[in-house]
Structure 1
Amino acid sequence: MIKTIAFYLPQFYTFPENDEWWGEGFTEWTNVRKAKPLFKGHQMPEIPAENNYYDLSKPEVMEWQSRLAKEYGVDGFCYYHYWFKDGKQLLEKPVENMLRNKKVDIPFCLCWANEAWARTWDGNENSILMPQEYDEDYQSLKKHFDYLLPFFKDSRYIKENNKPLFIIYKPYLINDISKLMNCWNELAINEGFAGIFWGLQHTDNFNHEDLIKRFDMAIEFEPSYTANHEMRLKNEIKRIGLNNKKINSEIKNILYKIVYKLTPLPLIRNYDETWEFINNRVPKFKSMVPGAFVSWDNTPRKNGKGIVYHRATPLKFRSYMVERYNRAINIYGSKYLFINAWNEWAEGAHLEPDQRNGYGYLEALKEAQKIMNIQK
């Protein structure tokens, strides 16, 4: 039976670093509340149902989320994990609270969001707030693993063949990924596991085939995966000759960014066209795992300079999810389907109920599963 896993953002509570960087009391809700419509038909701001601007430092919130998710067909959460040099962490409190609170009764896994934090929200992405540097000595690698071990050992943690599933957002940023993987596999075996079940979020503009082959799963993280590989940006760069195979990937990456910066923002994309790409794709590798997205509008997070996938509705989402489940089972042969996201409110990607659509997207997910006869 296929398992539906939703990515989960923990940035809905206050902590000192955000107070320092963005002002006292800052949470993800700060950007959500101040969003404004940027063009005709732009539906902003997003308002949670019953004005539920929740605080993830309160245990009852995560308990409510887990009950709601299971009721509507979400089989687990993939919580983002933020670990920096020398073991510095951010946004760790919700998942640590969850670990101690068995009333948050839903399977889960962790995804290491291994990027530096920059001031992208005010348009200054070159100003680094928290650099991401990688410790490669054994003791540092073990320190990270030891922190994760209680999560791995939890009965709710998602495992495959006695291997805890651990996902890395962008593993190609890590200089010696093989060293980390080999070290953690050995440490996991010493703790009674069969190793780590390694996953990656496949979002990059260019294929890293050798790297992908080292991982047990490569998740098509939507809509970024489709945008980077198949959509408008790729069509635009054809005009300036970037399809020339002689141009190496580093130069391509730089030129992609230049073209993106020169494109008028917000960039408006077609929700239906994107889903057409998604539901006609044939996976390139056996390890690829299908992704899906609810909707997308990250202009609140990007100070109005993001990307909007226009005209998303719960009815469309239900239809596209029926086909996505069909392809996940019959084309991918996958045990998992990852949805972006449970609560990415500042990116307009949330299954959680809102004032405009109510429980529409959750109901659409449940109905799609019913149509495909995959309800639990």
Structure 2
Amino acid sequence: MKRGSLLAAILGLTLLLGGDSTAQPGQPDASPAKSFVYKKTEQGDLQILVHFPRGWKETDRRAGIVFFFGGGWTDGKLSQFEPQATHLADRGMVAARADYRVKSRHGVTPKQCVEDAKSAVRWLRRNAAKLGLDPNRIVAAGGSAGGHLAACTALTPGLDAQGEDLAVSSQPSALVLFNPVLRFTGFAPLMERIGHDEALGKAISPTLHLKKDSPPALLLFGTEDRLLAQGEEFVKRSKELGHRAELFTAEGAGHGFFNREPWLERTTRRMEEFLASLGYLAAGQAPENRPPEAVGAGPSAGSSSPSPPAKPYVPEPRPVRTSILIGAHNCPLWEADQPQMWDQVLKHPERTPALGFYSQENPEVADWETKWAVEHGISFFVYCWYRNGQGGPVKMRFASAIHDALFKSRYVSKMKFAIMWENQARGVAGVSSEADLMENLLPFWMENYFRHPSYLTMDNKPLLFIYRPEFLVKDLGGVGEVRAAFDKMRAACRSAGFDGLYLLGEYRGLDPKHLQLMKQLGLDYTFAYCWHVQGNPSPQQAIAAQLDSIEKTRRLGILPQVVTVSQGWSGWHDEGSIWKIPPAEYKELLQRAKAILRTFPPHELGSRMLLLDNWNEWSEGHYIAPHREYGFGYLDAVREVFSDAPKEHVDLLPKDVGLGPYDQAFQRRKK
């Protein structure tokens, strides 16, 4: 596998203001925008302001972007996206801001707004040779109603103005959408704006027109914006189709948040990362019209006391598509104050993680793990979740991987997660009563996890994995009581806007009585956390034993399963059976498991997802994350079996970009 080095990124935001000009482009400065008429209408001419980067030539083939202002299709100002446009011109793009007709000034409806937006993209493409543009790299962007128009240029068929040259495509190659409207139908206040015209509402609802090959999209929303639900629907639909759509959320922010600091800088930086991932911007490239020392991290850049250059960071992940959902169990035991957890790895140095003896609470660690996972086809983690005390407000152990790292990481929107309730420690990790479950535990999960935009849902139902579901019989007083409690949990999820709750119980045996008990408890599926294969098996024996258990569980037909495949086992102290499947044989295991999943009923979760054991059970001897012995070997096997992405790719380590190490806490305690 190829590995490369990446120069440290220098990201900054400049708020240079440029005036309008009617001069034709020749050798323009970077800041001032040049004005062109892109369309003549009965209500007047429509302007487009184009910002050219320093060094621009008519013979260039630069990536371009056009911004559409917001204003509810009623009003709005062409100046809205001037900071973003001037900044991207500084970064080397041709950046435009397009006017369009609105109700207050021109007496039009959203339909005519869409027509104008399509005309603007078409004008840029038709004049690409004169504008120094690459016609195949034009991005449409906008905020609120302007975001809706940008999305419509890419997704909604028809709606072209009369007389347009339809031989020139109005579809951009990518989208950057700031809290956009994405669906009219089903939203009465929006339908009122178009006279409740159902046909038009469907025609201008971008989500309804998504396809697998639609242009990639970045969506940016505040968590307090009522339109966020539309963004989440869009991203969910995209994932189902295999279309690339990424969601950035600003905690506590409302509609229009991107116009104000600190979100102006943060959303601009996120936009840069997205455009760089498409090859439209060079990662780490300094703005072309300013010396590097003037590049800062905020609006003060270029002042008498410039901010220091931004530090290098984990390069943006580039997820690959997979034929089914692939998840990995995640063991979150690697906290800074728990150095003894690494003792077994010290005895087996071949297991040493690529991150070293890391502290999992570091958001940068989470971003590396997200990058490595999604670039090899793993789209979600199932974190072991430990309660620390029953019968009162929720307290946790080993929760830092989720709360301190994942939730605070830059790329949290790129990775899904679920929790496995690790309720093995009786009297501590379970529940004291149904009231404890419904009044303490479930509300905590709902608020912190199920409602999180990155939590794993299928069929609009959160997935909750339970390690020892049979222990709940004693906790709640009987089998019937457990079933009743599960039904109440599902009802609570429906009340919260979900379509229910999927409950999955852990079991790695073949006893029909135990599987019958799990069914009686009301579980939807069984799954294995890992497979204990006895007798120190060879790799082929370990493969055969796992597949045999999976097949026998299916043939019993008592409870459907979500399949897990295991890479190895040693126990925490090299006790019992010890075995390991190398990457080449692991690829065979994945291929054979994939074939089994094809025989499952298509409506079952088991036909749509596979669990991998384990991302990081370093001390217990089952792990697939990058490590000393096999590097990215296990992850490459996952990518090759389940993704259509090219086999050849670049896998980066922290040292390649000047980051790490992440083991300072371990080293201090070791001394």
Instruction: State the TM bucket, normalised to the shorter chain.
Output: 0.7 to 0.9
Residue 102 of structure 1 deviates from its aligned partner by 5.2
Report the counterpart of residue 423 of structure 2 in structure 1. Answer: 114
Contact 2:324-2:642 at 8 Å conserved across structures:
no
Q: Deviations over 1:212-231 (max 9, x none)?
A: 3322221144313xx4xxxx
- Counterpart among 568, 574, 586 of residue 317 in structure 1: 586
Q: Which residue of 1 aligns with 2:400?
A: 93
Aligned counterpart in structure 2 of residue 171 of structure 1, from 433, 450, 469: 469
Corresponding residue of 1:237? none
Please give the secondary structure, in 1, of the residue aligned with 2:419. strand
1:143 equivalent among 434, 440, 448:
440
Instruction: Give me the identity figure in percent.
Output: 20
**Cα gap change, 1:14/1:183 in structure 2, threshold over 3 Å: closer, same or farther?**
farther
Is 1:292 the counterpart of 2:572? The answer is no
Distance, in Å, in 1 between the alignment partners of 2:440 and 2:353 is 41
Is 1:345–2:618 an aligned residue pair? Answer: yes
Q: Do the aligned residues in 2 keep the contact of 1:2 with 1:329 (CA within 8 Å)?
A: no
Secondary structure in 1 matching 2:599: helix
8 Å Cα contact 1:135/1:141 also seen in 2: no
Residue 305 of structure 1 is matched in structure 2 by: 575
Offset at residue 51 of structure 1 (A) = 6.2
2:626 equivalent to 1:328: no
2:363 is aligned with what amino acid? P
Tell me what 1:212 maps to: 518
Cα distance in 2 for partners of 1:50, 1:339 equals: 19
Greater shift, 152-161 or 281-290, is seen at: 281-290
TM superposition shift of 1:329? 1.8
Aligned twin of 1:184: 489
2: CA distance between counterparts of 1:329 and 1:48?
35
For the 8 Å contact 1:290–1:337, the answer to whether it is kept is yes
In the other structure, the counterpart of 2:95 is none
The answer to which of 282-291 and 354-363 deviates more is: 282-291
Report the residue type matching 1:28 in the other structure. Answer: M
1:81 and 1:110 in contact (8 A); partners too: yes
The alpha carbon displacement at 1:134 in A equals 2.6
Amino acid in the other structure paired with 2:367: E
The 8 Å contact of residues 5 and 78 in structure 1, kept in 2 or not, is answered as: yes
CA distance in 2, matches of 1:72, 1:219: 23
| Partner SS for 2:630 | coil
Tell me the alpha carbon deviations over residues 226-258 of structure 1, each in whole angstroms, 9 at most, x when there is no partner.
x4xxxx5xxxxxxxxxxxxxxxxxxxxxxxxxx
**RMSD in angstroms over aligned alpha carbons?**
2.5
Question: 2:507 aligns to what?
Answer: 202
- TM-score normalized with structure 1 length: 0.72
CA distance in 1, matches of 2:354, 2:327: 25
Residue 115 (structure 2) aligns with? none
Aligned equivalents of 2:450 and 2:409: distance in 1? 15
Aligned residues: 299
1:344 and 1:350 in contact (8 A); partners too: yes
Give, in whole Å, the separation in 2 of the partners of 1:357 and 1:308: 18
Amino acid at match of 2:492: L
Q: Which amino acid aligns with 1:212?
A: M
Cα offset for 1:82?
Answer: 0.7
2:542 corresponds, among 251, 274, 294, to: 274
Measured against aligned partners, the alpha-carbon deviations of 1:182-226 in whole angstroms (never above 9, x if no partner) come to 2312221221112211111222463423333322221144313xx
Q: Are the aligned partners of 1:66 and 1:106 in contact in 2 as well (CA < 8 Å)?
A: yes
Higher relative contact order (Cα pairs below 8 Å, separated by 6+ residues): 1
Which residue of the partner structure matches residue 659 of structure 2?
A: none
1:132, CA displacement in angstroms?
Answer: 4.1
Q: Which segment drifts farther, 357-366 or 61-70? A: 357-366
Name the amino acid aligned to 1:304: D
Shift of 1:326: 1.3
Query: Is residue 169–residue 200 contact of structure 1 (8 Å, CA) maintained in 2?
Result: yes
For residues 86-119 of structure 1, give each alpha carbon's deviation from its aligned partner in whole angstroms, at most 9, with x where no partner exists: 33321112211223445232011111111118xx
Matched, 1:8 2:330: yes
Aligned-partner Cα distance in 2 for 1:46–1:135: 43
Give 1:155's aligned amino acid.
P
Note closer, same or farther for the CA distance 1:215–1:50 as it changes in structure 2 (3 Å cut): closer
What is the TM-score with the length of structure 2 in the denominator? Answer: 0.42
Greater Cα shift, 198-207 or 338-347: 198-207
Report the more deviating stretch, 208-217 or 336-345.
208-217
Equivalence for 1:59: 363
* CA displacement, residues 51-93 of structure 1 (integer Å, 9 cap, x when unaligned): 6221111110001101110011112110111124133321112
Measured in 2, the distance between the counterparts of 1:222 and 1:202 equals 9
Cα contact 2:352–2:627 (8 A) shared by 1: yes
Deviations 1:136-182 (A, max 9, x none): 14244321111111310111111122210001011011123224312
Q: Alignment partner of 2:541: what SS?
A: helix
SS of the residue 2:537 aligns to: strand
Contact in 2 for aligned 1:4/1:74 (Cα 8 Å): yes
Inter-CA distance 294–190: structure 2 relative to 1 (3 Å threshold): same
Match status 1:223 vs 2:491: no
How far apart, in 2, do the equivalents of 1:193 and 1:337 lie?
23
CA distance in structure 2 between the partners assigned to 1:364 and 1:187 by the alignment: 40
Cα distance in structure 1, aligned partners of 2:458 and 2:430: 30
Instruction: Name the structure 2 match of 1:122.
Output: none
Equivalent-residue separation in structure 1 for 2:336 and 2:645 (angstroms): 41
2:644 & 2:593 partners in 1: Cα distance?
Answer: 12
Rg larger in 1 or in 2?
A: 2
Aligned residue number for residue 32 of structure 1: 345
Residue in 2 aligned with 1:355?
A: 628
Matched position secondary structure for 1:81: strand
Instruction: List runs of 5+ in structure 2 lacking aligned partners.
Output: 1-322, 477-481, 647-671
**2:180 counterpart residue number:** none
Contact 2:525 2:560 in 1 (8 A): yes
Instruction: Give the letter for the 1:73 counterpart.
Output: G
Contact (CA 8 Å) 1:289, 1:332: kept in 2 or not?
no
> Greater CA deviation, 317-326 or 130-139?
130-139
Other structure's SS at 1:157 match:
coil
Secondary structure of 1:361's match? Answer: helix
Deviation per residue, 1:311-368 (Å, 9 max, x gap):
x211100111111111112346511111101111112211111211111111122122
Amino acid at match of 1:178: R
The amino acid of 1:308's aligned partner reads I
| Candidates 157, 160, 163, aligned match of 2:458 | 160
Q: Alpha carbons of 1:370 and 1:63: their partners in 2 closer, same or farther (altered >3 Å)? A: closer
Q: Distance in 1 between matches of 2:485 and 2:407?
A: 24
Do the aligned residues in 1 keep the contact of 2:565 with 2:611 (CA within 8 Å)?
Answer: yes
